Structure 1
């Protein structure tokens, strides 16, 4: 606003001054990720790669890497969710990946949740984690594990504990990023599966439970 315009408005009686535009409500829709979301997802993740220790990755992921991950999780039938603004922009995402490549671990997954920098502190993490847990139960999964950095990830730790994740172990000084040693905290939550286990077993190439 120009200085003269600002001064003119100040001279107006309060009841005649233009009202400021109301702040738009924070709204979003949670749905399954689609190929068109990959670039937004990549940008969200790479922000944390270059600016934080919540991920131990040191190199930014390429679009190709994320596309391969997306297709792999899609093939396994594992939940990969995004929160999308009315404009279509991805505000955050949540996914689970196999805890291990060994077939005996086929009912256990590891989760990941990342929010766009402008979408933090608005309850979106809670909404995504709740939706992810529900989606995992619909798939017949039994255990979900979160691996959290022991430094700089206090918000993630509190979020998982709020949803009933319990700490089951720690490893110290297993990562080195930004010139300092980092450890990991392992949290676990048992799920209430709503699907016959054998269906999931076949997705991982194992037999029926």
Structure 2
């Protein structure tokens, strides 16, 4: 069954916090070491929404299967046309098209906002072949690799940067981009 996608709301934050906390404690998709509290995740959710960016939830058979959101790429005004996508999928839902559906939806939302770039920062390049392949299949290109940039679980981890340019012809922007005057937080 295909995942159902919808906009996240505050009632989703306990499931989002739990999934992210499991990834912090046992995975390498994030370089955080201590799981954030529900209060901290609520603040992150509010910051994304304050920028008018999408935060999506995926469900399979009515159950929480994962989430994704876009956040400003960098705080400087010249970066206002780029966002970074973050995707987390429940272990039991992996391999069922959840990550693909979430990434495609994030790209379409960013495109509809008149943004130009979506960046994926895929950590642990050695074990993230599926994520890298997913990004490639949707038109992302490798922009570089930070080698041994993170230390987690007693080993060095790489980060592969993937970039989707939604206006490769280089035309001037048609929208004002993100308002970054209030910073990223």
Confirm or deny a common fold (TM above 0.5): yes
CA distance in 2, matches of 1:152, 1:55: 13
Contact 2:55 2:70 (C-alpha < 8 Å) held by counterparts: yes
> What is the TM-score normalised by the length of structure 2?
0.89
Deviating more after overlay: 114-123 vs 147-156 = 147-156
Shift of 1:86: 4.3
Shift of 1:182: 1.0
**Equivalenced residues, count:** 177
**Corresponding residue of 1:181:** 156
**Corresponding residue of 2:78:** 104
Contact 1:140 1:197 (C-alpha < 8 Å) held by counterparts: yes
**Corresponding residue of 2:37:** 62
Contact 2:76 2:180 (C-alpha < 8 Å) held by counterparts: no
Larger Rg: 1
Contact 1:42 1:61 (C-alpha < 8 Å) held by counterparts: yes
CA distance in 1, matches of 2:162, 2:131: 11
Contact 1:115 1:125 (C-alpha < 8 Å) held by counterparts: yes
Contact 2:23 2:30 (C-alpha < 8 Å) held by counterparts: yes
SS in 1 for 2:88: strand
CA distance in 1, matches of 2:21, 2:129: 20
Contact 2:7 2:56 (C-alpha < 8 Å) held by counterparts: yes
- Say which structure is richer in helix: 1
Q: Over aligned residue pairs, what C-alpha RMSD do you find?
A: 1.9
1:148-167 equivalences under 5 Å are 148-149=122-123, 150-167=125-142
**Corresponding residue of 1:19:** none
1:1-209 equivalences under 5 Å are 26-87=1-62, 89-149=63-123, 150-192=125-167, 196-198=174-176, 200-201=177-178, 203-205=179-181
CA distance in 2, matches of 1:160, 1:121: 15
CA distance in 2, matches of 1:51, 1:90: 19
Shift of 1:196: 4.1
- Say which structure is richer in strand: 2
CA distance in 1, matches of 2:87, 2:162: 14
Higher RCO by CA contacts (8 Å cutoff, separation 6 or greater)? 2
Superimposed CA distance per residue, residues 84-134 of structure 1 (whole angstroms, 9 cap, x where no aligned partner): 2443x3211111111111111111111111101111111111111111110
